[in-house]
Chain A
Amino acid sequence: MSEPAIRFEGVTKRFRRWHASVPHTTLKSMVVRMWDPRARAPEPRWELLSELDLALEVGETLGVVGRNGAGKSTLLRLIAGIYRPDVGRITVRGRVAPLLELGAGFHAEFTARENILVNGVLLGLTRAQVRDRAEAILDFAELAAHSDAPLRTWSTGMVMRLGFSIAIHVEPDILLVDEALAVGDARFQERSREALTRRVRERRGTTVIVSHDTQAIRTLCGPVLVLDPPHARLHPDAESGLADHARALEALP
């Protein structure tokens, strides 16, 4: 078997607790801490992921479920390299396209074409690749007629459609999708789900999907990771994962 596309080895991620009432930083404490890490008082940290081991093979689709604040977005950010683990190691093979928010990085003053260039490069394409795919992206989003208008003149739904269309046309080795399935009107939702399903069925890359939509998890995903901090449980199939997730929700006080 070849090397997995995503591998977590004993990954722990902690966050510091933020308290608006406590003046956590003064200029002096900050300067002292910067120069001498030993002077750092042990900060209260809260463990979101604890010693997680995970291996996702190329072409697999992982579903991630968990209640709000369970660390779903954090997990995607760890894969995308935005956060680094406190302990352990993450190995990712191939180009990652994080679709954490549709239209992230769009500039309202610029036209669709200009935004496609920047967004495409953000997601790892070269200039030439963006040029080759621009028409397909606009066609899929059904926005060719608006391609030269600045985004501030568009409706929110149109902007989202463009964002999704770029991400799906980038065809990344690893696609990270965060709650992005319900975008635009019913017709576009249908089309975007079809596009995502095609990617998953044809195993055109590894996909990680975070969603509260159990139906989407059931139809798209193989293994499912249930986040129940600080625990994370990996289930080989969607059914047992979703059942576990439901139990975890019921157990909440």
Chain B
Amino acid sequence: MGRAVIASLRSHMGILVQHRLLLEVLTQRDLAARYRGSVLGFLWTLMNPVLQAAVYVLVFRHLTGAIRTPGYETTLFVGLLPWTWLAGALMQGGPSLVLGAPLVLRSAVPPQVLPAVVVLAHGAHFVLALPVAMALVIVSGGSSSWSWLALPVAVVPLLVFLYAITLAAAALTTRLRDVQFLVQNGIGIWFLLTPIAWPVAMAPERLRAWLAINPAAALILPFQQILAEGRWPDARLLLAGSLWATGSMLVAVHLFERHREAVVEAL
């Protein structure tokens, strides 16, 4: 079993590495296509988390007064950036194989390249938005911190986890279009269950220990700790996030490789 999983992972990743130039070119094209013909370009991508944050602050702090935690605004915005990456990758990546069928069947693009491109393109948006989050932290009275150097430690497990779930969603969608609707409906619920719009401190103490069973919480909270709170991320959270990333990757890649032929034939 273990050896079979390793073999799947090796051949799966080998193909991605072999096609790295294609990944690069297709990711660039994905980004360029999004902004073609628009004047504001990347600002639109930034607008989504900005507007979302503004609404939550308006509702939870000012209209209802439900949240009084200091620094809520920055924590919220910082949390929204990795969440936007997750939601964007999953929503666009789910149908990526179905929509990209001609690339797979006529141009011999290896199927895993398509979800990978979506994850990378949204990852590029995330990285481009990071300086904005940093600026917001500084403007709202915080300061830059050595802890910011720990960002890669939070980014890598998130990237791996996002690739795994996007790959799984894309493969399942080829056979079962329901997955698309499941994702669309599930993502809003998942967001509310993840401590982004509400501060972790508001959750009851005994529940907080269980937060990491939500992979999004385990993977996104470290960003808030690093950037908004200016401290080193919690080691137990990082461990939980890495476990989620590794586990999901092994399962998704192994199943994908075992059913690769069925996925391609279903296109």
Name A residues whose Cβ lies closer than 8 Å to a Cβ of B.
15-16, 25, 27, 30, 34, 37, 77, 80-84, 96, 98, 100-101, 104-105, 107, 109-110, 114, 117-118, 121-123, 126-127
Contact = CB atoms under 8 A, between A and B. Distances in A.
A118 B33 CA distance: 13
Contacts of B255: 34
Nearest to B258: A37
Contacts of A30: 172, 175-176
B104 A82 contact: yes
A105 B22 contact: no
A96 B25 contact: no
Given A34-B259, A82-B105, A109-B36, A15 B265 contact: yes
A104 B106 contact: yes
Contacts of B104: 82
A104 B103 contact: yes
Given A105-B103, A121-B21, A80 B33 contact: no
B9 interface: no
B213 to A, nearest CB: 21
Nearest to A79: B108
A154 B29 CA distance: 20
Contacts of A82: 104-105, 108, 264
Nearest to A127: B21
Main secondary structure of the interface of B (DSSP, over half): helix
A194 B264 CA distance: 35
A80 B265 contact: no
21 contacts: A25-B176, A27-B176, A37-B258, A77-B108, A80-B108, A82-B108, A82-B264, A83-B261, A100-B105, A100-B107, A105-B103, A105-B106, A105-B107, A109-B36, A117-B25, A118-B26, A121-B25, A122-B107, A122-B109, A123-B107, A126-B21
B234 interface: no
Contacts of A101: 102, 106
B29 A110 contact: yes
Contact of A107 (B29, B176, B259, B265): B29
Contacts of A122: 22, 103, 107-109
Interface of B: 21-22, 25-26, 29, 32-33, 36-37, 102-109, 172, 175-176, 178, 255, 258-261, 264-265
A133 to B, nearest CB: 15
- Give 5 nearest A-B pairs by CB, closest first: A104-B106, A80-B108, A101-B106, A100-B106, A105-B107
Nearest to A80: B108
Contacts of B264: 82-83
B81 to A, nearest CB: 27
A81 to B, nearest CB: 6
A81 B108 CA distance: 7
Contact of B22 (A25, A81, A121): A121
A83 B103 contact: no
Given A84-B261, A114-B32, A122-B109, 8 more contacts: A82-B105, A84-B260, A100-B106, A107-B29, A109-B33, A118-B25, A118-B29, A121-B25
B108 A16 contact: no
Contacts of B22: 121-122
Contacts of B105: 77, 82, 100
Contacts of A117: 25
A111 to B, nearest CB: 10
Contacts of A121: 21-22, 25
A98 B107 contact: yes
A96 B108 contact: yes
Contacts of B21: 121, 126-127
B181 to A, nearest CB: 12
A25 B262 CA distance: 12
Contacts of A81: 108
Nearest to A24: B175
Contacts of A84: 260-261
B169 to A, nearest CB: 14
Contacts of B265: 15-16, 83
A130 to B, nearest CB: 9
A175 B96 CA distance: 27
Nearest to B19: A121
B167 to A, nearest CB: 14
A16 B105 CA distance: 17
Contacts of B178: 27
Given A34-B259, A82-B264, A121-B21, A98 B106 contact: yes
A41 to B, nearest CB: 14
A107 B108 contact: no
A107 B34 CA distance: 12
Contacts of A109: 33, 36-37
Given A84-B261, A101-B102, A126-B21, A107 B175 contact: no
